[in-house]
Structure 1
Amino acid sequence: MAIMIKSAQEIEKMRISGKALRQVHNAIAPHVVPGASTMDLERIAVAKIAELGATAAFKGYHGYPAALCTSVNEEVVHGMPNEKRILKEGDILSIDCGVIIDGFYSDAAVTYAIGKPSEKTRKLLVVTQASLEAAIEQCQVGGRLGDISAAVQEMCEAEGFGVVRDFVGHGIGRSMHEDPQVPNFGPAGKGPRLKAGMVLAIEPMINAGGPDVRVLKDGWTAVTVDGSYSAHFEHTVAITNDGPLVLTR
Structure 2
Amino acid sequence: YDDFCVAQIAQAVGKTDDYEMLMRRSRNYKNLYDPSVGFMRPKKADGSWDEESWASKDERPPGFTEGSPWTYLFCVMQDVPGMIALMGGDARFNAKLDENFSGGHYRHGNEPGHHYTYLYDYSGQPWKTQERVREAMLANYRNAPDGLSGNDDCGQMSAWYIFSALGLYPVTPGSTLYAIGSPFFERATIMLKGGPYKKGPFTVIARNQSRANKYIQSATLNGKPLNEPFIRHADIANGSTLVFVMGAQANKKWGQRRTALRN
- TMscore range, shorter length: under 0.3
Structure having the larger proportion of residues in strand:
1
- TM-score, with normalisation over the residues of structure 2? 0.27
Bigger radius of gyration among the two: 2
